Amino acid sequence: MLKIALIGAGKMGISHLSILGGYADTDIVGVCDTSKMVTDFLTKHGKFNCFSDYGKMISETKPDAVVVAVPTKYHYTIIKDLLEKKIHVFAEKPFCLNYEESEELVALAAKNNVVNQVGYHNKFFGTFQETKRIAASGVLGDIYHFIGESYGPVVLKKKADTWRSDPAEGGGCLLDYASHVIDLLNDTLSPIAAAKGTLLKSIYSGKVEDAVYSLLELTSGQTGLLSVNWSDDTYRKMSTSITLVGTKGKLIADANELKVFFKEDNELNGYSKGWNVKYITDLQDGVDFYLRGEEFSSQLNYFVKAAAGLVPNTINNFASAAKTDKAISIIKKSSK
Amino acid sequence: MERILFGDNQFFAVNHISDSKSREQSIRFKDDSAIIKVLDDAIGAGINTFMCTTHDRIANICDIIRDNPEKYNNFKIFPCMPYAHKYANAVTELGISGTLKQYVPGNFFGSLFKGGMAFLSKDYEAIMELMIDAEMKMFKGINTPVIFLQNVITDLLLGLRAYDMLVAFHSYIKQKYNAEAGFITMNMPKLLSVLHKAGISNPIICASINKAGFRMSGGKEIYEETLKTKKFRAIAMQVLGGGAIHPKEAIDYICALPNIESILFGASTKGNIENTISNIRFFDAKNK
């Protein structure tokens, strides 16, 4: 059984811990966090072996794999240390604050032959997986325009600053929200090569942007828009969507639903001329333990299986997340 | 519990398969009067229990119910707490302790933080009790015979193996509100086994149960087996599988399963409410 440990029991870390705890086939050997309120709870109520120093946790519990869910600014140092110890790593997104560090970790993970994954959970939605399949099949014709969007209600008024409002700590809408869409576009079509113009708008936050609007060009030469706003009250929760406009059809996909229009019949099974609508219920596999969406359970399941050598370590690996970090830096530069 | 319970997802733009439907609902139910009208349609069709989240807008609905005691004489509410997105969005912005500081009423939490001392189990239970009381405030004077813990919290505690917190919720609801505790979950077989082991012998559990196997963790077969062989009071929700199953086929499946005490559904129109009820009555009569 895979011995796994967690570093960082904040919102994402607690969620990962609960999902792992719900699975039968991992042994959670340790949890590390600096909040005594959190570790006391996990010790007393969950009977977890908790630490405040991750180095001590690693040397005492000797995990095969570690989930790293601390703020991004600590990723590089901690992950490097884990990779050098030949421990499999699942890290939260975004991967690193600058892509030179990301690329160094990609090389180190390869050198030490450890499984590596980053928590871009959108890629585990059936709808987005189907979107990638359809885009790659060519049935949309020449995809001459795309729109990647994400909206949600995170920062809705001016408030005191936290690390989420500090760009040096990985805060801001670009790193937090937009990274998901950037990662999806990179993966669905091809990596972002250039930003033709970018607006990073602060709406309520003092130091960081609350919205990102950018005109993008991909390495494939395809162009399109990125539109992301985390200060949008008209959404109940984060809502991410991808629109692909091609010469033979148009596709609109979000986490729950995939709508695709074809000008003519084509060879794609289960689709025909005109509008086709598929729902999450048609496209998503069930999970063994559900906390807050199949995608969160599926991504950890994939990581655990990859560590056991049962699936290839291809979805959301460090190399793919490093490309996303690079795209983030391209977008940031173009806003200046 | 009554055979048919009326849910509230449609009022708060919760749609599991379509963001555009969710937007339409949000527009349609902008005013509380639109919610009340649909609730009245449900009552007119013979449903007297409304199972709802502790969303801010439910407070307004509660005001209307209290103001019309004769009209809502037999009306019951099953509150489901908490409205998780309120907290989830706050955690993204403020972190876990920041969110608790904001939402746990009184000075209790502030004084704990200042001390820098170890937290005791009873402290966490006290925090939970304060939060339950805060969520229950809006229902004062309304009949709430069953009070539920929402699935995201039930399942979070289940995964964290904080089973004693589930038991603490169960005890506190009984002791303070003289009501039955219920648990909503997406992991029914696992939760039931935990609750049984903890000595809760006949718990009320509301879970996604449908012919498509949608959100039935571990698979449909283990759910069916659990219903056949284990003791608990089951409420089936998401019986239409988010719209994936034809309504008649969906209800036929549910009504033929053993041990389902209640069926929870939501609908936005009088026609859909009446259709669903008549389907349930039809298949129930057939299975008698």
Q: Which domain holds residue A197?
A: 126-283
| Mean pLDDT of all residues in B195-217 | 96
Residue B202 or B118, more confident: B202
The model's confidence at residue B183, banded by pLDDT at 50, 70 and 90, is very high
Domain co-membership, A95 together with A130: no
Domain co-membership, A112 together with A140: no
Q: What CATH number should be reported for the domain holding residue A219?
A: 3.30.360.10
| Residue B116 pLDDT exceeds 80 | no
Q: Is residue A199 part of a domain?
A: yes
A14 contacts on B by Cβ (under 8 Å): 96, 156, 160
Q: Is residue B247 part of a domain?
A: yes
Chosen domain end from A106, A121, A136: A121
pLDDT of residue A212: 98
Share of chain A above pLDDT 70, in %: 99
| Residue A245 pLDDT exceeds 90 | yes
Interval B226-241: pLDDT, tens: 999 999 999 999 999 8
A44 contacts on B by Cβ (under 8 Å): 119-121, 124
Q: Is residue A295 part of a domain?
A: no
The model's confidence at residue B255, banded by pLDDT at 50, 70 and 90, is very high
Q: Which domain holds residue B22?
A: 4-84+124-287
Q: What is the mean pLDDT of chain A?
A: 95
Q: How many domains, in total, are found in chain A?
A: 2
Of the residues A38, A39, A42, A44, the best mutation for testing chain B's interface (the one with the most B CB atoms within 10 Å of its CB) is A44
A22, A38, A282: residue with CB nearest B158: A22
Q: Is residue B54 part of a domain?
A: yes
Closest CA to A167 of A116, A202, A128: A202
| Residue B108 pLDDT exceeds 60 | no
Q: What is the mean pLDDT of chain B?
A: 90
The model's confidence at residue A73, banded by pLDDT at 50, 70 and 90, is very high
* Helix, coil or strand: residue B20: helix
| Mean pLDDT of all residues in A235-257 | 95
Domain co-membership, A103 together with A135: no
Domain co-membership, A100 together with A131: no
A155, A255, A286: residue with CB nearest B217: A286
B124 contacts on A by Cβ (under 8 Å): 41, 44-45
Q: What CATH number should be reported for the domain holding residue A80?
A: 3.40.50.720
| Residue A160 pLDDT exceeds 60 | yes
Domain co-membership, A69 together with A135: no
Pairing outcome for strands A65-68 and A88-91:
parallel
Contact (CB<8Å) A254/B190: no
Strands laid side by side in the A249-254 sheet: A192-201, A211-218, A223-229, A143-151, A239-246, A249-254, A257-262, A274-279
pTM: 0.94
Q: How many domains, in total, are found in chain B?
A: 1
Q: What are the Cα distances from residue B44, in Å, to B39, B49, B84, B273?
A: 8, 12, 31, 10
Closest chain B residue to A165 measured between Cα atoms?
A: B93
Tell me the nearest-neighbour CA distance from B93 into chain A, angstroms: 6
Cβ pairs bridging A and B (under 8 Å) = 147
Q: How many CB atoms lie within 10 A of CB A206?
A: 11
How many contiguous H segments (helices) and E segments (strands) does chain A have? 11, 14
Q: What CATH number should be reported for the domain holding residue B219?
A: 3.20.20.100
pLDDT of residue A281: 86
Q: Which residue type sits at B223? A: Y
Instruction: Answer for the pair A101, A94: CB distance below 8 angstroms, yes or no.
Output: no
Domain co-membership, A32 together with A52: yes
Instruction: Answer for the pair B157, B197: CB distance below 8 angstroms, yes or no.
Output: no
| Mean pLDDT of all residues in A36-42 | 92
